[in-house]
Structure 1
Amino acid sequence: MKRVIKLFEKKNVNYIAIIISILTLVAFIYQTTVISQQQHMSVYPHLMLQNQNGGSLNYSYTLTNKGVGPAIIESLRVTSPEGKVYDDLGLFLMNSLPEKYHEDILISNVSNGQLISSGEQIELFAFNHNRGFQSRQDTTVTKTKVEPIILSDKIYSILNDNALHIEIAYKSVYNDRWQINNKHKSPSKL
Protein backbone atom coordinates (compact mmCIF):
# COMPACT_ATOMS: atom_id res chain seq x y z
CA MET A 1 0.00 0.00 0.00
CA LYS A 2 2.84 2.37 0.80
CA ARG A 3 4.21 1.68 -2.63
CA VAL A 4 0.92 2.69 -4.29
CA ILE A 5 0.80 5.93 -2.27
CA LYS A 6 4.41 6.76 -3.19
CA LEU A 7 3.69 6.03 -6.87
CA PHE A 8 0.55 8.17 -6.66
CA GLU A 9 2.52 11.04 -5.07
CA LYS A 10 5.20 10.79 -7.79
CA LYS A 11 2.52 10.97 -10.49
CA ASN A 12 1.04 14.10 -8.86
CA VAL A 13 4.45 15.73 -8.71
CA ASN A 14 4.98 14.87 -12.38
CA TYR A 15 1.60 16.34 -13.34
CA ILE A 16 2.28 19.48 -11.34
CA ALA A 17 5.67 19.84 -13.05
CA ILE A 18 4.05 19.47 -16.47
CA ILE A 19 1.37 22.07 -15.63
CA ILE A 20 4.01 24.51 -14.37
CA SER A 21 6.03 23.96 -17.57
CA ILE A 22 2.96 24.63 -19.75
CA LEU A 23 2.12 27.79 -17.79
CA THR A 24 5.73 28.95 -18.15
CA LEU A 25 5.54 28.35 -21.91
CA VAL A 26 2.29 30.36 -22.16
CA ALA A 27 3.83 33.23 -20.17
CA PHE A 28 6.93 33.16 -22.39
CA ILE A 29 4.82 33.28 -25.58
CA TYR A 30 2.77 36.17 -24.20
CA GLN A 31 5.91 38.05 -23.15
CA THR A 32 7.44 37.53 -26.60
CA THR A 33 4.27 38.91 -28.24
CA VAL A 34 4.33 42.00 -26.00
CA ILE A 35 8.03 42.62 -26.77
CA SER A 36 7.35 42.26 -30.50
CA GLN A 37 4.51 44.81 -30.28
CA GLN A 38 6.79 47.19 -28.37
CA GLN A 39 9.45 46.85 -31.07
CA HIS A 40 6.91 47.68 -33.78
CA MET A 41 5.64 50.70 -31.86
CA SER A 42 9.18 51.93 -31.21
CA VAL A 43 9.56 52.56 -34.95
CA TYR A 44 6.00 53.76 -35.62
CA PRO A 45 5.98 56.44 -38.35
CA HIS A 46 3.13 58.99 -38.28
CA LEU A 47 2.90 61.10 -41.44
CA MET A 48 0.79 64.25 -41.61
CA LEU A 49 -0.13 66.64 -44.43
CA GLN A 50 -0.26 70.22 -43.15
CA ASN A 51 -0.81 73.79 -44.29
CA GLN A 52 1.80 76.17 -42.90
CA ASN A 53 1.27 79.97 -42.78
CA GLY A 54 -1.79 80.07 -45.06
CA GLY A 55 -2.56 83.42 -46.68
CA SER A 56 1.03 84.69 -46.58
CA LEU A 57 4.17 84.60 -48.68
CA ASN A 58 5.48 82.02 -46.23
CA TYR A 59 2.67 79.60 -47.09
CA SER A 60 3.78 76.02 -47.62
CA TYR A 61 2.16 72.61 -47.80
CA THR A 62 4.19 70.06 -45.88
CA LEU A 63 4.51 66.36 -45.26
CA THR A 64 5.83 65.73 -41.74
CA ASN A 65 6.79 62.54 -39.92
CA LYS A 66 5.61 63.07 -36.34
CA GLY A 67 6.26 59.44 -35.39
CA VAL A 68 9.22 57.83 -33.67
CA GLY A 69 10.43 55.79 -36.65
CA PRO A 70 11.14 56.31 -40.34
CA ALA A 71 8.41 56.10 -42.99
CA ILE A 72 9.04 54.49 -46.36
CA ILE A 73 6.78 55.89 -49.09
CA GLU A 74 4.97 53.25 -51.11
CA SER A 75 2.77 55.46 -53.28
CA LEU A 76 1.36 58.95 -53.74
CA ARG A 77 -1.86 59.50 -55.61
CA VAL A 78 -3.58 62.81 -56.35
CA THR A 79 -7.10 62.85 -57.75
CA SER A 80 -8.06 66.29 -59.03
CA PRO A 81 -11.55 67.75 -58.58
CA GLU A 82 -12.13 66.89 -62.26
CA GLY A 83 -11.27 63.24 -61.56
CA LYS A 84 -7.86 63.20 -63.28
CA VAL A 85 -5.32 61.02 -61.41
CA TYR A 86 -1.68 62.05 -60.86
CA ASP A 87 1.14 60.22 -59.11
CA ASP A 88 2.94 63.52 -58.52
CA LEU A 89 1.64 66.48 -56.51
CA GLY A 90 3.99 68.85 -58.34
CA LEU A 91 2.63 67.88 -61.76
CA PHE A 92 -0.91 68.40 -60.47
CA LEU A 93 -0.01 71.88 -59.17
CA MET A 94 1.78 72.84 -62.39
CA ASN A 95 -1.28 71.80 -64.39
CA SER A 96 -3.54 73.76 -62.03
CA LEU A 97 -1.61 77.06 -62.21
CA PRO A 98 -0.95 79.42 -65.11
CA GLU A 99 2.53 78.88 -66.55
CA LYS A 100 3.62 82.41 -65.60
CA TYR A 101 3.71 81.27 -61.93
CA HIS A 102 5.75 78.09 -62.40
CA GLU A 103 9.05 79.78 -61.55
CA ASP A 104 7.56 81.42 -58.47
CA ILE A 105 6.97 78.18 -56.61
CA LEU A 106 9.17 75.37 -55.33
CA ILE A 107 7.89 71.83 -55.41
CA SER A 108 9.38 68.75 -53.73
CA ASN A 109 8.38 65.42 -55.16
CA VAL A 110 7.81 62.41 -52.95
CA SER A 111 8.66 59.16 -54.68
CA ASN A 112 8.14 55.47 -54.04
CA GLY A 113 10.78 54.05 -51.73
CA GLN A 114 11.70 57.46 -50.30
CA LEU A 115 12.57 57.35 -46.59
CA ILE A 116 11.25 60.11 -44.35
CA SER A 117 13.05 60.13 -41.02
CA SER A 118 11.37 60.75 -37.70
CA GLY A 119 10.90 64.50 -37.25
CA GLU A 120 11.63 65.26 -40.92
CA GLN A 121 9.45 67.79 -42.70
CA ILE A 122 9.25 68.05 -46.49
CA GLU A 123 7.82 71.17 -48.07
CA LEU A 124 5.76 69.70 -50.89
CA PHE A 125 5.04 73.25 -52.01
CA ALA A 126 6.59 76.60 -51.05
CA PHE A 127 7.20 79.97 -52.64
CA ASN A 128 10.52 80.57 -54.37
CA HIS A 129 11.61 83.62 -52.37
CA ASN A 130 14.85 83.83 -54.35
CA ARG A 131 12.89 84.85 -57.43
CA GLY A 132 11.80 88.17 -55.89
CA PHE A 133 8.16 88.62 -56.84
CA GLN A 134 8.27 92.41 -57.03
CA SER A 135 11.33 92.60 -59.27
CA ARG A 136 10.17 90.16 -61.93
CA GLN A 137 8.04 91.34 -64.82
CA ASP A 138 6.61 89.24 -67.57
CA THR A 139 5.29 90.39 -70.89
CA THR A 140 1.64 90.24 -69.90
CA VAL A 141 1.57 91.23 -66.23
CA THR A 142 3.60 93.57 -64.08
CA LYS A 143 3.75 91.94 -60.69
CA THR A 144 2.59 94.01 -57.75
CA LYS A 145 2.86 93.40 -54.04
CA VAL A 146 -0.71 92.12 -54.05
CA GLU A 147 -0.26 89.41 -56.70
CA PRO A 148 1.87 87.03 -54.59
CA ILE A 149 -0.80 87.03 -51.87
CA ILE A 150 -3.43 86.31 -54.51
CA LEU A 151 -1.25 83.45 -55.77
CA SER A 152 -0.82 82.19 -52.19
CA ASP A 153 -4.61 82.23 -51.70
CA LYS A 154 -5.15 80.51 -55.06
CA ILE A 155 -2.73 77.70 -54.21
CA TYR A 156 -4.25 77.36 -50.74
CA SER A 157 -7.71 77.02 -52.29
CA ILE A 158 -6.42 74.45 -54.83
CA LEU A 159 -4.74 72.30 -52.15
CA ASN A 160 -7.68 72.57 -49.75
CA ASP A 161 -10.49 72.01 -52.26
CA ASN A 162 -12.91 69.46 -50.78
CA ALA A 163 -13.02 67.66 -54.13
CA LEU A 164 -9.21 67.20 -54.22
CA HIS A 165 -8.01 63.87 -52.84
CA ILE A 166 -4.35 63.25 -51.91
CA GLU A 167 -3.39 59.77 -50.68
CA ILE A 168 0.00 58.64 -49.46
CA ALA A 169 0.63 54.98 -48.59
CA TYR A 170 3.71 54.24 -46.48
CA LYS A 171 5.25 51.54 -44.33
CA SER A 172 7.53 51.12 -41.34
CA VAL A 173 10.80 49.20 -41.32
CA TYR A 174 8.77 46.20 -40.09
CA ASN A 175 6.47 46.48 -43.17
CA ASP A 176 3.48 47.65 -41.14
CA ARG A 177 1.48 49.72 -43.64
CA TRP A 178 -0.59 52.91 -43.27
CA GLN A 179 -2.28 55.46 -45.47
CA ILE A 180 -2.93 59.16 -44.97
CA ASN A 181 -4.98 61.58 -46.99
CA ASN A 182 -5.72 65.28 -47.01
CA LYS A 183 -9.16 64.74 -45.44
CA HIS A 184 -8.16 63.02 -42.17
CA LYS A 185 -5.42 63.92 -39.71
CA SER A 186 -4.74 60.37 -38.53
CA PRO A 187 -3.26 57.58 -40.62
CA SER A 188 -5.31 54.45 -41.20
CA LYS A 189 -3.70 51.03 -41.01
CA LEU A 190 -3.75 49.01 -44.23
Structure 2
Amino acid sequence: MKKKIDPNLLIAIGVLIASFSALFVYMRQASIMSRQTEILLEQTKANAWPRLSVNAHLNWSDKKLETLQVKIHNKGTGPAIIEGVRVLYDGKYVTHWQDLFLKTKIPDSISKSISNKSVNNSVMSANENFYWVQFINDPNLASWMYKNRQKITIEICYKSVFNDYWLLRKEGFDNDTTIQKLGTQECTIPSNEVFKT
Protein backbone atom coordinates (compact mmCIF):
# COMPACT_ATOMS: atom_id res chain seq x y z
CA MET A 1 0.00 0.00 0.00
CA LYS A 2 1.43 3.37 -1.11
CA LYS A 3 1.72 6.09 1.46
CA LYS A 4 -0.08 9.28 0.42
CA ILE A 5 1.89 12.53 0.40
CA ASP A 6 0.16 15.27 2.25
CA PRO A 7 -0.80 18.04 -0.25
CA ASN A 8 -0.11 20.68 2.43
CA LEU A 9 3.50 19.46 2.60
CA LEU A 10 3.85 19.81 -1.18
CA ILE A 11 2.41 23.33 -1.00
CA ALA A 12 4.79 24.20 1.86
CA ILE A 13 7.81 22.90 -0.10
CA GLY A 14 6.68 24.84 -3.18
CA VAL A 15 6.26 28.02 -1.16
CA LEU A 16 9.71 27.48 0.42
CA ILE A 17 11.35 27.02 -3.02
CA ALA A 18 9.53 30.09 -4.37
CA SER A 19 10.64 32.13 -1.32
CA PHE A 20 14.30 31.12 -1.76
CA SER A 21 14.10 31.90 -5.48
CA ALA A 22 12.59 35.33 -4.74
CA LEU A 23 15.28 35.98 -2.11
CA PHE A 24 18.03 35.05 -4.58
CA VAL A 25 16.54 37.30 -7.28
CA TYR A 26 16.18 40.17 -4.77
CA MET A 27 19.82 39.79 -3.60
CA ARG A 28 21.02 39.72 -7.21
CA GLN A 29 18.99 42.85 -8.04
CA ALA A 30 20.30 44.60 -4.93
CA SER A 31 23.88 43.78 -5.97
CA ILE A 32 23.28 45.11 -9.50
CA MET A 33 21.61 48.27 -8.14
CA SER A 34 24.49 48.82 -5.72
CA ARG A 35 27.01 48.54 -8.57
CA GLN A 36 24.93 50.89 -10.73
CA THR A 37 24.84 53.39 -7.85
CA GLU A 38 28.65 53.20 -7.55
CA ILE A 39 29.06 53.76 -11.29
CA LEU A 40 26.63 56.69 -11.19
CA LEU A 41 28.51 58.21 -8.24
CA GLU A 42 31.85 57.85 -10.07
CA GLN A 43 30.33 59.50 -13.15
CA THR A 44 28.95 62.32 -11.00
CA LYS A 45 32.36 62.77 -9.38
CA ALA A 46 34.03 62.82 -12.79
CA ASN A 47 31.68 65.64 -13.81
CA ALA A 48 32.81 67.67 -10.78
CA TRP A 49 36.58 67.06 -10.76
CA PRO A 50 38.71 70.15 -10.21
CA ARG A 51 42.14 70.29 -11.86
CA LEU A 52 44.42 73.15 -10.92
CA SER A 53 47.43 74.36 -12.84
CA VAL A 54 50.11 76.94 -12.02
CA ASN A 55 51.86 78.80 -14.83
CA ALA A 56 54.25 81.71 -15.12
CA HIS A 57 53.56 84.43 -17.69
CA LEU A 58 56.61 86.38 -18.80
CA ASN A 59 56.73 89.69 -20.66
CA TRP A 60 60.02 90.45 -22.39
CA SER A 61 61.10 93.72 -23.97
CA ASP A 62 64.40 93.95 -25.90
CA LYS A 63 65.58 90.66 -24.33
CA LYS A 64 64.93 92.07 -20.86
CA LEU A 65 62.27 90.64 -18.58
CA GLU A 66 59.74 93.35 -17.74
CA THR A 67 57.08 91.47 -15.77
CA LEU A 68 56.55 88.05 -14.21
CA GLN A 69 53.05 86.86 -13.27
CA VAL A 70 52.05 83.56 -11.66
CA LYS A 71 48.59 82.38 -12.68
CA ILE A 72 46.42 79.69 -11.08
CA HIS A 73 43.80 78.10 -13.32
CA ASN A 74 41.09 75.52 -12.58
CA LYS A 75 40.92 73.55 -15.83
CA GLY A 76 38.57 70.97 -14.31
CA THR A 77 34.83 70.44 -14.53
CA GLY A 78 34.01 71.26 -10.91
CA PRO A 79 34.99 73.73 -8.18
CA ALA A 80 38.35 73.44 -6.43
CA ILE A 81 38.25 74.06 -2.68
CA ILE A 82 41.77 75.18 -1.76
CA GLU A 83 42.65 74.21 1.81
CA GLY A 84 46.38 74.83 1.94
CA VAL A 85 49.30 76.35 0.02
CA ARG A 86 52.97 75.78 0.74
CA VAL A 87 55.88 77.60 -0.89
CA LEU A 88 59.40 76.28 -0.49
CA TYR A 89 62.67 77.95 -1.35
CA ASP A 90 65.65 75.64 -1.73
CA GLY A 91 63.66 72.92 0.09
CA LYS A 92 62.67 75.07 3.09
CA TYR A 93 59.16 76.42 3.51
CA VAL A 94 58.46 80.16 3.65
CA THR A 95 55.36 81.71 5.21
CA HIS A 96 54.76 84.82 3.04
CA TRP A 97 56.20 86.77 0.11
CA GLN A 98 58.50 88.97 2.22
CA ASP A 99 59.89 85.80 3.82
CA LEU A 100 60.58 84.46 0.31
CA PHE A 101 62.38 87.69 -0.64
CA LEU A 102 64.48 87.40 2.51
CA LYS A 103 65.45 83.78 1.68
CA THR A 104 66.45 84.74 -1.89
CA LYS A 105 68.72 87.44 -0.41
CA ILE A 106 67.24 90.07 -2.67
CA PRO A 107 69.30 93.31 -2.65
CA ASP A 108 67.88 96.32 -0.81
CA SER A 109 68.12 98.33 -4.04
CA ILE A 110 65.32 96.25 -5.60
CA SER A 111 61.74 97.24 -4.84
CA LYS A 112 59.72 94.47 -3.19
CA SER A 113 56.36 95.84 -4.27
CA ILE A 114 54.01 93.15 -5.62
CA SER A 115 50.36 92.64 -6.45
CA ASN A 116 48.96 89.43 -5.03
CA LYS A 117 45.77 87.60 -4.10
CA SER A 118 45.09 85.32 -1.15
CA VAL A 119 44.58 81.68 -2.17
CA ASN A 120 44.15 79.78 1.12
CA ASN A 121 40.60 78.78 2.03
CA SER A 122 39.26 79.94 -1.31
CA VAL A 123 37.05 78.26 -3.90
CA MET A 124 37.83 78.35 -7.61
CA SER A 125 34.96 77.54 -9.93
CA ALA A 126 35.48 75.47 -13.08
CA ASN A 127 37.53 77.35 -15.69
CA GLU A 128 38.28 80.22 -13.29
CA ASN A 129 41.77 81.69 -13.33
CA PHE A 130 43.55 84.60 -11.73
CA TYR A 131 47.03 85.97 -11.14
CA TRP A 132 48.18 84.81 -7.73
CA VAL A 133 51.18 87.12 -7.67
CA GLN A 134 52.43 89.73 -10.11
CA PHE A 135 55.95 91.13 -10.18
CA ILE A 136 55.01 94.05 -12.42
CA ASN A 137 56.12 97.18 -10.57
CA ASP A 138 59.88 96.75 -10.97
CA PRO A 139 61.60 94.81 -13.81
CA ASN A 140 64.54 94.19 -11.47
CA LEU A 141 62.27 92.31 -9.06
CA ALA A 142 60.78 90.25 -11.91
CA SER A 143 64.29 89.40 -13.15
CA TRP A 144 65.49 88.50 -9.66
CA MET A 145 62.57 86.12 -9.05
CA TYR A 146 63.00 84.60 -12.51
CA LYS A 147 66.70 84.07 -11.85
CA ASN A 148 65.81 82.17 -8.64
CA ARG A 149 62.82 80.32 -10.13
CA GLN A 150 64.31 76.82 -10.09
CA LYS A 151 64.67 76.93 -6.29
CA ILE A 152 60.99 77.81 -5.76
CA THR A 153 58.45 75.02 -5.26
CA ILE A 154 54.71 75.65 -5.02
CA GLU A 155 52.29 73.13 -3.50
CA ILE A 156 48.51 73.51 -3.41
CA CYS A 157 46.28 71.10 -1.50
CA TYR A 158 42.69 71.17 -2.75
CA LYS A 159 39.54 69.05 -2.76
CA SER A 160 36.37 68.52 -4.75
CA VAL A 161 32.81 68.91 -3.48
CA PHE A 162 32.93 65.13 -2.87
CA ASN A 163 35.91 65.52 -0.47
CA ASP A 164 38.44 63.89 -2.82
CA TYR A 165 41.84 65.50 -2.17
CA TRP A 166 44.69 66.35 -4.56
CA LEU A 167 48.15 67.84 -4.10
CA LEU A 168 49.52 70.02 -6.89
CA ARG A 169 53.30 70.44 -6.97
CA LYS A 170 55.26 72.75 -9.25
CA GLU A 171 59.04 72.92 -8.96
CA GLY A 172 60.35 76.04 -10.65
CA PHE A 173 58.35 78.16 -13.07
CA ASP A 174 59.49 76.26 -16.18
CA ASN A 175 58.74 72.68 -15.13
CA ASP A 176 55.55 70.70 -15.52
CA THR A 177 52.95 70.64 -12.79
CA THR A 178 52.38 67.28 -11.10
CA ILE A 179 49.08 66.41 -9.44
CA GLN A 180 48.71 63.52 -7.02
CA LYS A 181 45.36 62.24 -5.81
CA LEU A 182 45.58 61.80 -2.06
CA GLY A 183 44.06 58.90 -0.17
CA THR A 184 43.37 61.10 2.84
CA GLN A 185 40.30 62.93 4.07
CA GLU A 186 42.22 66.09 4.95
CA CYS A 187 44.86 68.43 3.59
CA THR A 188 48.39 67.04 4.00
CA ILE A 189 50.12 70.43 4.37
CA PRO A 190 50.82 71.08 8.08
CA SER A 191 49.11 74.25 9.35
CA ASN A 192 52.41 75.74 10.56
CA GLU A 193 53.85 75.49 7.01
CA VAL A 194 50.91 77.14 5.22
CA PHE A 195 51.82 80.12 3.03
CA LYS A 196 49.79 83.02 4.42
CA THR A 197 49.14 85.10 1.31
| Equivalent residue, structure 2, for 1:144 | none
Going from structure 1 to structure 2, the CA distance change for 1:181 and 1:71 (only over 3 Å counts) comes to same
Task: Summarize the alignment of residues 54-133 of structure 1 with structure 2, pairs less than 5 Å apart.
Answer: 55=60, 56-81=65-90, 83-88=91-96, 90-95=97-102, 96=104, 97-99=106-108, 100-103=110-113, 105-111=114-120, 113-128=121-136
Which residue is 1:50 aligned to? Answer: 55
| Counterpart secondary structure, 1:64 | strand
1:117 to partner: Cα distance: 1.6
Q: Is the 8 A contact 2:89 2:100 kept in 1?
A: no
* Secondary structure class of the residue paired with 1:73: strand
Q: 1:45 to 1:23 in 2, by over 3 A?
A: same
Cα deviation, residue 115, structure 1: 1.1
Amino acid at match of 2:181: K
**Cα displacement (A) at 1:40:** 2.1
Does 1:169 pair with 2:157?
A: yes
Please give the alpha-carbon distance, in whole angstroms, between the structure 1 residues aligned to 2:32 and 2:169: 40
The letter of the residue matching 1:185 is T
Greater share of helix residues, 1 or 2?
Answer: 1
RMSD value over aligned CA atoms?
A: 2.6
Higher strand share: 2
Please name the residue that 1:186 is paired with. Answer: 178
Question: Structure 1 residues 3-12 or 179-188, which shifts more?
Answer: 3-12
Distance between the aligned counterparts of 1:15 and 1:54, measured in 2?
75
Superimposed CA distance per residue, residues 111-140 of structure 1 (whole angstroms, 9 cap, x where no aligned partner): 2x1111211112122243xx5x6xxxxxxx
1:157-177 CA-partner distances (Å, limit 9, x unpaired): 323x1x432211111122211
Secondary structure of 1:174's aligned partner: coil
Residue identity opposite 2:85 in structure 1:
L
Pair 1:23–1:73, CA change in 2 (3 A): same
**1:33, CA displacement in angstroms?**
1.3
Give yes or no for contact 1:69–1:117 (8 Å, CA) kept in 2: yes
CA shift for structure 1 position 2: 8.3
Matched-pair identity in %: 25
TM-score by length of 1: 0.73
Per-residue CA distance 1:6-52 (angstroms, 9 max, x = gap): 55444333222111111111011111112222222222111111122
1:171–1:45 distance in 2 versus 1, CA, 3 Å? same
C-alpha distance in 1 between matches for 2:107 and 2:68: 18
Q: CA deviation at 1:151?
A: 4.6
Q: Report the Cα distance in structure 1 between the residues aligned to 2:132 and 2:100, rounded to whole angstroms.
A: 10
Q: Is the 8 A contact 2:66 2:143 kept in 1?
A: no
Unaligned runs of 5+ in 1: 134-147
Task: Give the TM-score taking structure 2 as reference length.
Answer: 0.70
Q: Are residue 15 (structure 1) and residue 7 (structure 2) matched? A: no
Q: How many residues align?
A: 166
Structure 2: gaps of 5 or more residues? 183-197
